[in-house]
Structure 1
C-alpha cells in the first residue's frame, strides 16, 4: 500500500528482479513527485532542462535510465523487453517512491506511461504523454493512415545485429535519418556519447524486438487519470491521425497540445513548452 512521502532520501538506484536501475532524483524532497520516462535513443538526461523548470516550481523530479539503458539492467533475451516487463520496472520504482506520481513520458517512454496508467491507475496522479499516443490510437493509425510509412523502422529493427551496426557506423545513413527528424549536432553527439559509447544501443533496439512478445490487449486499455497529450507538428515519426484518436481511450479530463514548428525531440528542443505542458496536466489532477 502506498503511503504519502515515504521516499525521504534521494533515489539514485533501485532494484527489480536482480536488475539495478540508475535514477536521477532532484528538486525538493518534500515536493509532489513527477516521474519522467525517456524515449529512444535517449536516457534520463534528456529531461534535464524540463526537470530544472519543474524543480523551480516546487516539484521533485525522478527520472530513471530504463531497462537496457542502465548498465546493470541489460538482460539479453528479446522477451525480457516486452512491454509488460518495462511497465513492471516503472511500477516497481513508484512503489519505492511510496506515493502516486505525475507520470510523464516521451516517445517509447510515453508508450510505457500510457500502459502504466492503464494497468496501475492507483500509482498515477496524472499522465502527460509526449509525441506517442495511446497504443490503441497508434495501432488504429497503422491500419488506417500513412502511419505505417512513418514507422518503417519497427520492422527493420526486428533484424538481428544489422540495425545497431547501421546506427553505430560513423557517418552512417542513420545520422542522416536523425538529422531529417530534427536532431541537432548537439543531439547527435549526446546520442553517440550517452547511447552508443555507453553500450546501450543494442539493448535499446531490443525494445522494438520485444514487441512480438507483448500483450496486444494494451490497445484496449482505458485511462482513468487526468491526461495530457502533447504532439509537435514537425514530428516525422508520428502522424497527426495517430494523435487525434487518443482521447477516445481516456475516461477523465483530457487535453491535446500541438506545438508548432517543433521536431519530435520535444524535451530537449522545447523544454520550456514541455515543462509548461506537464504543469497544465498536473493542474488537471487538482493535486
Structure 2
C-alpha cells in the first residue's frame, strides 16, 4: 500500500477466498480499522464521505468492492453469491490484513453482510453500525414464499429470474438505471401488473443533490464494465441463503450494534419494519443495540453524510480503546501436567485438555467416534515433552463440552467453526492439526475451509475424499440397512440398540473392531453384531475405559451420532468446495488392519496416488495396527507425528 496519510485514498487488490477483492483504504495504516460494506447498486465509493471523516479522526477506513461489483471479481455462477461466500470474502480479507477484530459498518446489502458477519463470526467484530436494513432473525418461511403475496411486480420477485432484470435495465444507459434507484422516494418497490420495476422507477431530470455528475460517472463506468448480473445474483441466492442458514434459526446478534435509518427510507413502512424497530422487536434480537432515526431516504450515508458521520464516530469512540479479546486463564504449564478448562465460543462451551508450555508451537488434536480428548493422552505427553503446546478439545456433543439438542447443530460448519473460534479465543493465528476418525474429517475440512489457520496437518485413519457428485447417503444406499452409517441415520434407532448394553460394553465393541466393513447381517443391529472382548483391551486400562464410560454415561450417544445424521446436509452445504484440493502440507497415517482400509476402494485410492492428487503436499505412512491407532500403537504414532511436525516447527507462523 502507498503511504499512510489521512487524506489519500489508496487502492489495492487481494486474492482471497477464490476471488480478487478490490479495496479502497484511507487513514493511517496503524489506526483502528473500520470495515465499510456497500449495498446495491453501489461501490466502495458510496463511503467516500465516511472514509474521509474516519481517516481524519485516526481510524483506518477499509472499503472493499464486494464480489460482483467494481474492480472485484465477478464470478459467473449465481451460487457463488451466497451469504457464506460474501461473509467468507470479508473474513478472508481480515485474515489477509492480519486483523483479528474490526469495527464494521454496512448499508443495504452491506448491512445484510455485516449482520451475518456478526452472526457467523462475532469473534471478528468489535462493534457494528448498520444503515437502512435491520437484522431479522431467520423466518420459518423462505424469502420467495414470504414475498409471494406481493405478486410479480415486486422488485425482488422480478430479480429472481436470470436475465429478466438485465434485459429490462438494458433499455436504459447505465447512469439512468443508477439514478432511477438512487432517487427512489416511494415506500414499496412494487410495479403495476405487467410492468418491470426499472420502467416504473423515474429518473430525475436534474442532478441528485448528494452526488456530482463526476461521481455518478464513476459509478456508471464500473457498472458498464461489470454489468448488473453479479449484484442481482445476491437476490437470486436469497432462498438458498435461507436454506443454508437453518442452524442459525433463532440466533441473536451478540455484538454491540447501532442501527441508523432514514425516516423516509423506502423500507421504513414495508413489511412492518417501522413497527418492528419502534416496538422493540429489533432490540429483542440485537440486545446490545442503539437506534437512530434521522432525516433522510435510503442512500443515507451519501445524502446525509455529515449526520451519518457524526452518528458513526460518536458510537465507535465508545469502543475504540477497548481490548480486542479476552485472555484465557491457565494454570501452571509444566510439560507433564494436563490442564483442563472450558471456553464459551461459537455458542457453546468447549472443554479443552492442554499439556505443554503455552509459548510452544500449538498442536490441535481432534478426536473421533466414540472418543474424547483422552484418546490423545499418549500424544499429549510426547508433544509436551518436546516443547509443543498440545490442545485436545472434547468436540461438541462429547465429554465435558456442550451437547446441543438440535441435530442441525452438528454440521461440519459448526464443528470447524468451534475449532476456529477456539483458535481465536487463544489468539492463535496458525496451528498444527492432528485428527483421527471423525476428527480426521473435521481436520480435513478445517484445512479446506481455512487453510490460513493450519501450518500442517497429520491425519489418522480417514483419507481426504473430494466432494462426490452424490450425497454419501445415496452412495451408501447400495450397502443396505445393515450398514452402520445407514442405521445411524434414523434418530433414536442406534440409541435404543446401544441401550441394551452398559456403556463400557458399547465402547469396547467399537474399540475392538477387526472386521473390514461395518455391515451387520440382515435384520441385525450393528451393535448386536459387534463383539466385545471378554478380556481388557491391550492398549487401554480399565481405569481409562472407566473414564470414557463415565462421560458417555452422562451425555449419551445422540450428540456423536448426530455427526452421521448431518452427512447429507454437509454434502449440500459444501457444494462451493466441489473439486477443491487440500493445499496444506499433510501426512496421512493408516493402520494396515484398519476397519476402513478395504472399504470403498480406500486402499487403492491411497496407494495408487488418488489421495496424493487431491492433497498435493502429502506424505503417507501405512503402519501395523487397527483403527484406534494413536492409542494402540502410541509410540509409533508419536514418532510419525513428531518427525513430520519437526519439519515445520522452526518456521515462523505466518498469517
Shorter-chain TM-score category? 0.7 to 0.9
Task: For residues 173-220 of structure 1, give each alpha carbon's deviation from its aligned partner in whole angstroms, at most 9, with x where no partner exists.
Answer: 885564333887355934861453132311111110111211243553
| 1:210 paired residue number | 237
Does the 8 A contact of 2:138 with 2:245 survive in 1?
Answer: no
- CA distance in 1 between partners of 2:146 and 2:283 (Å): 17
Q: 1:282 aligned to 2:293?
A: no
| 1:227 paired residue number | 257
Task: For residues 64-88 of structure 1, give each alpha carbon's deviation from its aligned partner in whole angstroms, at most 9, with x where no partner exists.
Answer: 0011114452111221111111111
Q: 1:61 aligned to 2:61?
A: yes
| 1:32 paired residue number | 32
| 2:49 paired residue number | 49
Secondary structure in 1 aligned to 2:50? helix
Residue 152 (structure 1) shift:
2.3
| 2:225 paired residue number | 198
> Measured at CA, do residues 276 and 194 of structure 1 come closer, stay the same or move farther in structure 2, by a change above 3 Å?
farther
- CA distance in 2 between partners of 1:31 and 1:18 (Å): 28
> Measured at CA, do residues 268 and 91 of structure 1 come closer, stay the same or move farther in structure 2, by a change above 3 Å?
same
Q: 2:157 aligns with which of 155, 159, 166?
A: 155
Residue 242 (structure 1) shift:
4.6
| 2:275 paired residue number | 241
Structure with higher RCO (Cα < 8 A, 6+ apart) = 1
Name the stretch that deviates more: 170-179 or 122-131.
170-179
Does the 8 A contact of 1:104 with 1:127 survive in 2?
Answer: yes
| 1:117 paired residue number | 118
Consecutive unaligned residues of structure 1, counting only runs of 5 or more, are 1-7
| 2:129 paired residue number | 128
| 2:306 paired residue number | 272
Does the 8 A contact of 1:115 with 1:221 survive in 2?
Answer: no
| 1:257 paired residue number | 292
- CA distance in 1 between partners of 2:170 and 2:218 (Å): 10
| 2:168 paired residue number | 166
Cα-Cα RMSD: 3.2
Residue 235 (structure 1) shift:
0.7
> Measured at CA, do residues 238 and 54 of structure 1 come closer, stay the same or move farther in structure 2, by a change above 3 Å?
same
Residue 264 (structure 1) shift:
0.2
| 1:83 paired residue number | 83
Secondary structure in 1 aligned to 2:160? coil
Secondary structure in 1 aligned to 2:263? strand
TM-score norm. by structure 1 comes to 0.84
> Measured at CA, do residues 219 and 43 of structure 1 come closer, stay the same or move farther in structure 2, by a change above 3 Å?
farther
* Aligned length, in residue pairs: 275
Residue 224 (structure 1) shift:
1.6
Q: Which has the larger radius of gyration?
A: 2
Residue 280 (structure 1) shift:
2.6
Secondary structure in 1 aligned to 2:317? helix
Does the 8 A contact of 2:17 with 2:89 survive in 1?
Answer: no
Secondary structure in 1 aligned to 2:311? helix
Residue 28 (structure 1) shift:
1.1
Name the stretch that deviates more: 65-74 or 184-193.
184-193
Secondary structure in 2 aligned to 1:197? helix
- CA distance in 2 between partners of 1:137 and 1:17 (Å): 25
Higher helix share: 1
- CA distance in 2 between partners of 1:119 and 1:233 (Å): 30
- CA distance in 2 between partners of 1:201 and 1:212 (Å): 19
Secondary structure in 2 aligned to 1:246? helix
Residue 241 (structure 1) shift:
3.0
Does the 8 A contact of 2:65 with 2:71 survive in 1?
Answer: no
| 2:96 paired residue number | 96
- CA distance in 1 between partners of 2:27 and 2:177 (Å): 39
- CA distance in 2 between partners of 1:138 and 1:103 (Å): 24
Does the 8 A contact of 2:43 with 2:69 survive in 1?
Answer: yes
Secondary structure in 2 aligned to 1:41? coil
- CA distance in 1 between partners of 2:311 and 2:38 (Å): 16
Does the 8 A contact of 2:138 with 2:250 survive in 1?
Answer: no
Does the 8 A contact of 1:132 with 1:238 survive in 2?
Answer: no
Consecutive unaligned residues of structure 2, counting only runs of 5 or more, are 187-202, 322-655
Secondary structure in 2 aligned to 1:236? coil
- CA distance in 1 between partners of 2:88 and 2:287 (Å): 23
> Measured at CA, do residues 170 and 138 of structure 1 come closer, stay the same or move farther in structure 2, by a change above 3 Å?
farther
Secondary structure in 1 aligned to 2:231? helix
Residue 162 (structure 1) shift:
1.6
TM-score norm. by structure 2 comes to 0.39
